[in-house]
Structures are given as C-alpha cells and as structure tokens.
Amino acid sequence: MLAQYDLSALKNEMRREELSGRPATMWRYHELLPVRTPQSVQSLGEGMTPLLPAPRLAPKGLKQTAQVFVKDEGQNPTGSFKARGMSAAVSRAFELGVRGVITPTAGNAGAAMSAYAARAGLPAYVTAPEDAPQACIKQAHLYGAEVELLAGLISDAGRLATERAIQRGLFNVATLREPYRVEGKKTMGLELAEQLGWRLPTAIIYPAGGGTGVVGMWKAFSELYSLGWLTESPLPRMIVVQAEGCAPLVQAWNQGSTEATPWPSDQATTQAAGLRVPSAIGDRLILQAIRESAGTALSVSDEEMKQMVHYAAQQEGMLISLEAAATLAAYHRLLANNSLSADDEVVLFFTGSGLADLGLPG
C-alpha cells in the first residue's frame, strides 16, 4: 500500500528550480507528500539535514581521495530520521481527524511519534519491548505519551499495538501498516538528489531495521525520474547493513530469496535497538531495490559499530548512534574486499544522533 501522485500533471505544473527558495524542511516537497491542507502540517523543522563531505571517515591511506559523504539525520528534531515519517503520518492523521495515534517501537520511532502527537495536540500511545533503550522510553514519556512495555520483541509490541488501536480507537502508524510514514522517509531521497544538484551518488549505505528508509528512497528516485527532475543519472547501488545478531534481510540476500524469513525472536541480539527487528515488513521491496540496483546486504558486529562511533567522532566531529555507525563499518568492509573503491561516491546515512547515548555507562 503506497501513495500515488499525479506525477504527469505535476511535471507540467512545476519545475525543480522552484524549490530553491523554499523553507529548509522536508515540507518543501509538499506536492509529493500526502497532506492536503497546509494548516494540517505538524512540523518541528524536520528534514533538509546537511549532506557533508567526510573524507577522513575513510580508512587510513584513503583519506586524501575518498569520495564519501554523510547525510546527518541526527540533526532532525527528536534526534533521528524517524522524525520524517512521523511528521508525515501524524500530520495526515491530524488532517483525517483521528482521536489519537499509536505505534510499536524498538526505540526512536515511539519518541518521534510522541513528539509530533504533542505538537498536534493528539494523545499518543506507545508499545515497546521492555528492553528498549531507557532514553527512548523516557523521551516518549516526556512528550506525554502513554507507554506500555512488554516482555518480547518489536514484533510482539506490534501485535499489542494492533490490539490497543482497536480497543481505544487510535490510528496505528506501525511501519508500513499505513502509507504515510514511508512518504516522509522518502524525502531523504528527494533531498539527496537536490543537494547533489539533481543527480545521485554511486552508492548509498543504509542501516535497515524495518528498512522503510530504503523503500522510501527507492520510491523517491522513481518519482523524480517520472517528473523529469532526474534524467541521466544512473540509480545508486542500494547497500543495506544489519547487525550480526539480527540480520534477516542479509540472510535472505545471501540465499538469493525474494523475501526474508523472520529471525528467531529468542536469538535477536544487538545493542543497536533500531536494528533489533526480526521481521522487516517491507522485505520484498527492500530486496527488490537491492537487486535492481546491483547493491548488496551485509551485517556487522556490535563491536565494529562501537569502534565506528569513536572513529566518526574523532575523525570528523560527528557524534552518532550505533545504527548510524553500522554504515561506516559496512563502508570500511566493502572497501577492504573491493566491493567499493575510494573514488566511488558513497553516501552514508547517519540515521541518528549519539547525544542520547551519552548517559550510557562506558
């Protein structure tokens, strides 16, 4: 279930140059977003995060030449890319006149939904595994959400959210259960094309839990071609990274499958809470995007992520989450095994800030 727009009409009505004077949020692309009335938009300034050249993120010896860029999603409100999807979904829910919103969460999504619900003046309800990061739960609480913790994984929280949504008459914004969040995430792809001067990089490395960021960007590129805003640029290789302790998409990719078998719940272990997602609901779409783009999927260890948190901070002054650091670990791995070379233009999606992790021990 994905939103469709009348792109041929828009193609006649609008030129991409009109964007340049618009506000620096994802709502600059409002013609491509599922909210009809401007007054329904619930914005905290999300989107148009910086695209930063970051050559020193490359391994030693390649720092002079590496064509590596960072899309710094940690500068979004609530500290992660989740703000985009929730700004879109809560805005549309508000426009539809819902009574309140609910989501299951492994971490940042619950906090982001709660923030936008507060902004909209709507009640918020969050279901989460009891081992979800304390900081995320506390953040959702601060925004005034009701939070229900349960023994289990994000998939169990998903079932509980479905139940509670029916019982309480709440609009469920669980990943890909509604068509709006992915539209918000799509703007990462729109911005990337605009920020690069209407072309795309050689490769994109993205950390996939639910993986709808990849689905969204893939949809964005398709829409940009339909609009004629992208023309000659080939599509980027879509590279998905997961945690060794929970890698259903990587397993499916390695087996040549078109869909992913859920990771056994009791074996889903990684400290990167956003990657502790045993079953990506957009699995087919994600695997299709990887296949069509000659991309790949790989997993990295928690230890590698932690090392890369330090590396990004020391090399380029960027404080990132474990999930974001997974992309940097993947970049180093793919350079080492010659799947990428230093002169490939690669964009790492640093999906979340490391600020909220400063309170953790160690």
40 near a second copy (CB under 8 A): no
Q: Applying CB under 8 A, which of residues 26, 29, 33, 49 lies at the interface with a second copy?
A: 49
Q: Closer to a second copy at the Cβ: 139 or 299?
A: 139
Q: How many residues sit in the footprint of a second copy (CB under 8 A)?
A: 49
Residues 160, 104 contacting (CB under 8 angstroms): yes
Q: How far is CA 251 from CA 13, 215, 244, 259, 332, in A?
A: 44, 18, 10, 10, 20
Nearer CB in complex with a second copy: 296/321? 321
DSSP for 59-95 reads PTT-TTT--EEEEEGGGSGGGBTHHHHHHHHHHHHHH
Q: Does 59 bind a second copy (CB under 8 A)?
A: no
Rule CB under 8 A: say whether 115 interacts with a second copy. Answer: yes
The answer to the question of residue 316 lying near a second copy (CB under 8 A) is yes
Q: What strands, in cross-sheet order, belong to the sheet with 171-172? A: 146-150, 124-129, 101-104, 171-172
CA distance 140 to 108: 9
The helix (H) or strand (E) run that includes residue 241 is strand 237-243
85 binds a second copy (CB under 8 A): no
Q: Is 319 in the site for a second copy (CB under 8 A)?
A: yes
CB 23, min distance to a second copy, A: 8
Only segment of 92-100, 206-214, 296-304, 348-356 that touches a second copy (CB under 8 A): 348-356
Sign of the Cα torsion 273, 189, 104, 25 reads positive
146 is a site residue for a second copy (CB under 8 A): no
In this chain, which stretch among 160-168, 289-297, 306-314, 329-337 interacts with a second copy, using CB under 8 A?
A: 306-314
Of 99-107, 110-118, 257-265, 293-301, which segment contacts a second copy by CB under 8 A? Answer: 110-118
CA 56 to chain centre: 24
Closest approach, Cβ 152 to a second copy, in A, equals 24
CA–CA gap between residue 130 and residue 133 (Å, rounded): 8
- Contacting residue, 75, 162, 202, 257, with a second copy by CB under 8 A: 75
Strands (E) located in 80-188? 101-104, 124-129, 146-150, 171-172
Of 180 and 218, nearer to a second copy (C-beta) is: 180
* CA angle, 29 then 102 then 217, to 5°: 30
Least distance CB 119 / a second copy (angstroms): 4
| Type of residue numbered 101 | V
Check residue 41 for interaction with a second copy (CB under 8 A).
Answer: no
Residue 188 interacts with a second copy (CB under 8 A)? no
Q: Residues interacting with a second copy, by CB under 8 A?
A: 20-21, 24-25, 43-45, 48-50, 52, 56, 72, 75-79, 114-119, 121, 134-135, 138-139, 142-144, 309-310, 313-319, 353-360
